[in-house]
Amino acid sequence: MREFDDKDDFRMGDGFHIAFLYESGSDEVDKGVAYAAEDALSDDDFLKAIFLELKADDVQEMRQKILSFGVKVLDVPDVHLYFQAPGGQVFRLVGINEDLSRYEGNG
């Protein structure tokens, strides 16, 4: 929707917006919005903020295959394996029939 040197705004369908803040600052600002470059997540925290789920029938076997491949493992206070795939995307490994309802927000 909008692009600034230190912030990009996206609309992902009706009523869902996402903004990316970058560490660099700029002279151009988004009028009427309170944010600053220092509000941007660190590189390490950013990796933990967005992830895709990888579902597997045998989580332990898949975990061993993933670790044997040599991916970067993220330190996340959760029982699941969080890892960064080559190319940068972060995944969370979960069981295909695992009840993940405790992770769902209530609005």
In tens, the pLDDT along 59-78 reads: 999 999 999 999 999 888 88
First to last CA, the chain: 25
pTM recorded for the entire structure = 0.59
Extents of the domains making up the chain: 1-40, 42-107
Average of per-residue pLDDT across 15-35: 60
Region of residue 69 (left: phi > 0; alpha: psi -120 to 50; beta: else): alpha
Site of tokens 């903020």: 49
Average of per-residue pLDDT across 5-19: 72
Q: Is residue 5 within 8 Å of residue 16, measured between CB atoms?
A: no
CATH of domain 42-107: 3.30.720.110
In the three-class reduction of DSSP (H, G, I as helix; E, B as strand; rest coil), residue 69 is classed as: helix
Average of per-residue pLDDT across 86-101: 88
> Closest Cα partner for 78 from 64, 90, 61?
90
Q: How confident is the model at residue 24 (pLDDT cuts 50, 70, 90)?
A: low
Residue with more model confidence, 28 or 71: 71
CA distance linking residue 100 with residue 55, whole number of Å: 11
Residue 46 is predicted with a pLDDT of: 72
